[in-house]
Amino acid sequence: MTKFILVSDNANTEKDLKSVISKFSFEMICLSDEDEIESYINSDNIPLFIFDSESINLDIVSIIRKYKLLIQTKDIRTVVLLPEKNINYDILKYVNSYVTRPINEQLFMSCINTNLNLYETFKTLSKNNNELAKSLYQLNVLYNTSTQLAGSLDKTNLINIMTDGLEQSLSLSLCYALILNEVNDIQLIIKSIFPVSQRLENAIKLRALLNFKNLFSINPLIDDIKIVKHNKDNYGEHDLNILGYDNLFAPVNIKNKFYGIIEVFREQDFVPDDTKCFSTLVKQVSLPLESAILYEEIKDTNIKLEKLERLKSEFISIVSHELRTPLTSINSALDIILKGTTGEVNDAMEKFLNLAKRNVTRLSAIIYDLLDLSRIEAGKMEFRFEKANINLTVELVKNTLENLAKEQNITIESQLDNNLGMVYVDTQRMEQVLTNLISNAIKFTKENGKIEITSKKISKEDIRENPFFDSLPSEMSDEYIQIAVKDNGIGIAKENWNKVFEQFKQIENSLSRKVGGSGLGLPIAKRLMDAHKGFIWLNSEINKGSVFYLAIPLMSEKEIFKLSLEQDIQKAKQDRLNVSLCAFRENIVDGKSFTDKIISDDVIRKNTVYKEYSYTEDNKRYYYVYSVDVDSFVFDFEVRKVDGYIKANATGYEECDIVYSAALYPRDAQTADELLKKVSIFSKEDSDEKNINS
Amino acid sequence: MKKILIVDDEADIIEILQFVLESNGYECITAMDGEAGLKLAREANPDLIILDVMMPKINGYKISRLLKYDNKYKDIPILMITARSQEEDKIIGEETGADEYITKPFNVDFVVEKVKKYLG
């Protein structure tokens, strides 16, 4: 039966209304004491209040005004009974409807019913509204949580984000997650509003473990579990009664594998929406968890690789230092004895001491070769490329090895073309390659043999048509310098031609043992030629002799400048340095060059090493200069300084008409090409760009 | 008699160098780590110093630098023995001021030749 309240101390009113409602199923409570009103409002089961304005002692207007706000928040309907005459209309501002005396039964009942209906409608609406707000909140939490999940690659952090999301969206009392990182790494995360009692903690541990064992085929020990606890407040305590609360449970899956379990508890029962929210959140964590695990694996592999690389470097270092020192001692000791300083050495002793010495020398050669090879393979070989006349290098090596050849009555002849042009090489490494080829020739040539060294220019096509190469790089220089070392020794069978350049694949082991050497010389030579963008090959006939060929790319000054810029940019990339490039163009008047003065006056280079390239064309001088390891601040400063310098000194050089431009790696460009393009401000006029970038 | 200071952490190398140099008529004093070497270099008035690069406490490069930047000692010739190892590569390139470099494995005659070049 629907209840409503009449606030009145007028017995007539009560009597009148009772007679009206007696025909309907309503219950009316009449309050004549103001103090009782509030408790009825708060009881939440009174939909309607009727205030009697003809109360005798009660000040109805002030009562209505006093409770107006409270009544409104409860969506309670209010009706006021007004007198027939002398109506105080002011009161109507505070109530929903009014009924005037004398009471018309039909009108009164329709007013009551309308208000009761409205109350019900309001109630439903606000309930829907609350649910909507709750859903919206949950959605919001879900969204935030998934954003956070996407931003983390740490497993524990991901689980924490998920449990935080669950706590927020479901207002949980307690939540725990048991996570299996590895068989021996099991973590139990307990999150609750209040601190958890020891009894509850043990119970959760046991419960989690039992749940866990049901899902996983492994049997972790209870002591293996690492517990992490979080609680929001520090007062109060959660005890075993928590386990009687409503709960939700889910396994955490990664792909089709279990990763852990999660269970949540709440004093209030869960509704279907909560369950949906719960399962969505738990599902959402699985993808980022998978990424996190993959990320960890990659990180682990990387750390292992780095460690291996470090071990390798350390090994190389140990080989180089720790082996060389004892070898030095042995070698020196042998020398001292052999010289007779420590006493007379008889023939047999000398023979064996010399044998020992030869082998020490061989051992140190092997160590050098091993070191070189591992440095090249690790990309750690440092090359000092420079402009060079390769014929000079050939002559130098020839002169060094001539004595060795004479010992075996072998003659070395050279026929070198003197108009070859310059190459861009690390001369020391070229010496190494040539030394290897010529000393090989000496080793494998019989007494009274002859070695011939020739050099000449060859074209790209010559190499392309060479049947020795199965494949060639797509980018090749147009011209090469070919150096041939020809002997009339034992020769190499055709099936072994390629093998001689492979490391540790010596042919005819017995022979190479007889002649000494590490057997790594040619593989190193091959790799050194690769580093020079050159080629090495051979032609041979058994018992007639072999010819080893080298092809070194020929380059113009421009190409060499570009190549060195490219190489320095590569180095700068590794060391995180800058490369600054400046270009000038001036009109040459009376043979005076202003750009030369800029360089010689130290405007550009300060203390840095710089490389330059210049050429004159149509009475215009072009000047390119770059330096490494100038930070952008210094660089800007330098450019401004050049600018200032030009302006300050322009009087004498006005007619020179200097144009200049500057660019910085990596700020302005990423490659040598791009950098050169950046500074080619005058490219359109004279196709300079084409020249430098060709 | 000209006095040579040999600083090396390898006792064998010291012994060999000492033997060879003494049989060539030089007096030798020795130290087995950088700290002791630097102390002797400053206190014992050597006419020439043979320095190993990789040594405990103070490396050869540093000793060389310390001596060469000191007016009192800068005229003492320094022969640096290097194994060209990776650690050395890292510190190489620093200005050391050494007069000669001898690469391991070295030839004793070569060392004597270099010493003679400075001490006659």
CATH assignment of the domain containing A465: 3.30.565.10
β partners of residue A425 = A386
* Half-sphere exposure for A606 (CA within 13 Å, toward CB): 15
Check whether residue A261 and residue A212 sit in a common domain. Answer: yes
- CB contacts of B12 in chain A (<8 Å) are 326, 329
The bridge status of strand A246-254 relative to strand A257-266 is antiparallel
Q: What is the pLDDT of residue A599?
A: 59
- CB contacts of B23 in chain A (<8 Å) are 341
Q: Higher pLDDT residue, A613 or A397? A: A397
Cα–Cα distance between A527 and A197 in angstroms, integer?
70
Give the mean pLDDT of chain A.
81
**Overall residue count recorded for chain B in this entry:** 120
Strand, helix or coil at A469?
coil
Residue B26 in any domain: the answer is yes
Sequence-ordered strand ranges (E) for A518-566: 535-541, 545-553
Q: Which amino acid is it at B117? A: K
Secondary structure letter of residue A217 according to DSSP: S
Question: CA A136, A139, A142 angle in degrees (round to 5)?
Answer: 155
- CB contacts of B86 in chain A (<8 Å) are 313, 316-317, 320
- Give A647: exposed, middle or buried? Use CB within 10 Å, 0-12, 13-18, 19+: exposed
Specify the pTM.
0.50
Write the pLDDT tens digit of every residue in B72-91.
Answer: 998 999 998 887 655 555 55
Check whether residue A562 and residue A442 sit in a common domain. Answer: no
The residue out of A231, A256, A284 marking a domain boundary is A284
Question: CA B97, B112, B16 angle in degrees (round to 5)?
Answer: 100
The total of structural domains in chain A comes to 5
Q: What is the pLDDT of residue A232?
A: 77
pLDDT beyond 70 at A317: no
Select from B70, B95, B69 the least CA-distant residue to B80. B95
Q: Higher pLDDT residue, B54 or A513? A: B54
Check whether residue A571 and residue A546 sit in a common domain. Answer: no
Backbone angles phi, psi at A128, to 5 degrees: -60, -40
Q: What is the pLDDT of residue A538?
A: 93
Report helix angle A155-170 to A286-318, nearest 10: 160
Report helix angle A155-170 to A272-284, nearest 10: 170
Q: How far is B56 from chain A (nearest CA, A)?
A: 14
Q: Which of A255-269, A278-292, A402-416 has the highest mean pLDDT?
A: A402-416
Question: Between chains, do A327 and B83 touch, taking CB under 8 Å as contact?
Answer: no
Q: Higher pLDDT residue, A52 or B92? A: A52
pLDDT beyond 50 at A691: no
Q: Check CB contact of B43 with chain A, cutoff 8 Å.
A: no
Question: Between chains, do A332 and B10 touch, taking CB under 8 Å as contact?
Answer: no
Phi-psi group of A629: left, alpha or beta (phi > 0 → left; psi -120 to 50 → alpha; rest → beta): left
Location of structure tokens 């009664």: A241
- Nearest chain A residue to B17, by CA: A332
Q: Check CB contact of B105 with chain A, cutoff 8 Å.
A: yes
Residue B120 in any domain: the answer is no
Select from A632, A444, A463, A610 the least CA-distant residue to A541. A444
- Give A465: exposed, middle or buried? Use CB within 10 Å, 0-12, 13-18, 19+: exposed
Confidence of residue A339 (pLDDT cuts 50, 70, 90): confident
Residue A80 is inside which H or E element, if any? strand A77-82
Q: Check CB contact of B84 with chain A, cutoff 8 Å.
A: yes
Cα–Cα distance between A438 and A548 in angstroms, integer?
9
Q: How far is B73 from chain A (nearest CA, A)?
A: 28
Strand, helix or coil at A31?
strand
Check whether residue A513 and residue A594 sit in a common domain. Answer: no
Secondary structure letter of residue A471 according to DSSP: -
Check whether residue A96 and residue A35 sit in a common domain. Answer: yes
pLDDT beyond 80 at A647: no
Order of strands across the sheet that contains B100-103: B27-31, B3-7, B48-52, B78-82, B100-103
Terminal-to-terminal C-alpha distance of chain A:
100
Q: In whole angstroms, how far apart are CA A167 and each of A187, A266, A270, A322, B83?
A: 19, 10, 13, 62, 65
User: With pLDDT > 90 as the criterion, what percentage of chain A qualifies?
Assistant: 11
Select from B117, B21, B18 the least CA-distant residue to B77. B117
Residue A222 in any domain: the answer is yes
Check whether residue A444 and residue A357 sit in a common domain. Answer: no
Write the pLDDT tens digit of every residue in A484-519.
Answer: 999 988 888 888 888 888 765 555 544 444 455 667
Separation of CA B64 from chain center: 8
Q: How far is A548 from chain B (nearest CA, A)?
A: 30
Count Cβ atoms below 10 Å from residue A451 Cβ, excluding itself.
24
Secondary structure letter of residue A195 according to DSSP: P
The bridge status of strand A659-665 relative to strand A579-587 is antiparallel
* Half-sphere exposure for A371 (CA within 13 Å, toward CB): 21
Residue B13 in any domain: the answer is yes
Q: Higher pLDDT residue, A221 or A228? A: A228
Contact A565, A676 (CB under 8 A): yes
Question: Between chains, do A324 and B104 touch, taking CB under 8 Å as contact?
Answer: yes
Residue B19 in any domain: the answer is yes
- Name the residue among B17, B84, B106 with its Cβ closest to that of A320: B84
The residue out of A376, A407, A442 marking a domain boundary is A376
Interface pTM, i.e. ipTM: 0.70
- Name the residue among B54, B84, B104 with its Cβ closest to that of A328: B104
The residue out of A553, A568, A584 marking a domain boundary is A553
Q: How far is A364 from chain B (nearest CA, A)?
A: 7
Write the pLDDT tens digit of every residue in A143-158.
Answer: 888 888 888 888 888 8
Residue A392 in any domain: the answer is yes
Q: How far is A327 from chain B (nearest CA, A)?
A: 6
- Residue A107: CATH number of its domain: 3.40.50.2300
The bridge status of strand B48-52 relative to strand B3-7 is parallel
Check whether residue A451 and residue A401 sit in a common domain. Answer: yes
**9-28 in chain B: CB under 8 A from chain A:** 10, 12-13, 16-17, 19-20, 23
Q: What is the pLDDT of residue A602?
A: 53
Strand, helix or coil at A292?
helix
Backbone angles phi, psi at A21, to 5 degrees: -80, -10
The total of structural domains in chain B comes to 1
The first and second tokens of residue A470, run together, are 């199965």
Question: Between chains, do A317 and B10 touch, taking CB under 8 Å as contact?
Answer: no
Select from A362, A377, A318 the least CA-distant residue to A523. A377
**Containing structural domain, residue B38:** 3-113
Residue B119 in any domain: the answer is no
Which of B54, B85, B87 is the best substitution to test chain A (most A C-beta atoms within 10 A)?
A: B85
Q: How far is A408 from chain B (nearest CA, A)?
A: 24
Question: Between chains, do A320 and B108 touch, taking CB under 8 Å as contact?
Answer: no
pLDDT beyond 80 at A107: yes
- Name the residue among B85, B105, B109 with its Cβ closest to that of A327: B105
* Half-sphere exposure for A437 (CA within 13 Å, toward CB): 30
Confidence of residue A568 (pLDDT cuts 50, 70, 90): confident
Q: How far is B42 from chain A (nearest CA, A)?
A: 27
Q: What is the pLDDT of residue A693?
A: 41
Which range, of A22-31, A163-172, A326-335, A380-389, averages the lowest pLDDT?
A380-389
Residue A179 is inside which H or E element, if any? strand A174-182
- Nearest chain A residue to B8, by CA: A325
Residue A654 is inside which H or E element, if any? none
Backbone angles phi, psi at A83, to 5 degrees: -70, 165
Prior bond of A666 cis (ω within 30°): yes
Residue A318 is inside which H or E element, if any? helix A286-318
pLDDT beyond 60 at A689: no
- Name the residue among B10, B86, B109 with its Cβ closest to that of A335: B109
Check whether residue A546 and residue A657 sit in a common domain. Answer: no
Question: Between chains, do A316 and B104 touch, taking CB under 8 Å as contact?
Answer: no
Residue B92 in any domain: the answer is yes
Confidence of residue A536 (pLDDT cuts 50, 70, 90): very high
Check whether residue A549 and residue A564 sit in a common domain. Answer: no
- Residue A684: CATH number of its domain: 3.30.70
- Residue B56: CATH number of its domain: 3.40.50.2300
**Containing structural domain, residue A211:** 151-284
β partners of residue A540 = A546
Write the pLDDT tens digit of every residue in B2-44.
Answer: 999 999 988 888 988 999 999 999 999 999 999 999 999 999 9
Contact B99, A336 (CB under 8 A): no
- CB contacts of A360 in chain B (<8 Å) are 105
- CB contacts of B19 in chain A (<8 Å) are 336, 341
Contact A192, A173 (CB under 8 A): yes
Check whether residue A400 and residue A310 sit in a common domain. Answer: no
Count Cβ atoms below 10 Å from residue A71 Cβ, excluding itself.
20
Check whether residue A391 and residue A534 sit in a common domain. Answer: yes
Prior bond of A83 cis (ω within 30°): no
Sequence-ordered strand ranges (E) for A97-167: 97-100
Check whether residue A397 and residue A410 sit in a common domain. Answer: yes
Residue B33 in any domain: the answer is yes
Strand, helix or coil at B62?
helix
Contact A424, A563 (CB under 8 A): yes
Q: Which residues contact A655 (CB under 8 A, 6 or more apart)?
A: A587, A589
Q: What is the pLDDT of residue A518?
A: 66
- Name the residue among B10, B23, B87 with its Cβ closest to that of A325: B10
Residue A144 in any domain: the answer is no
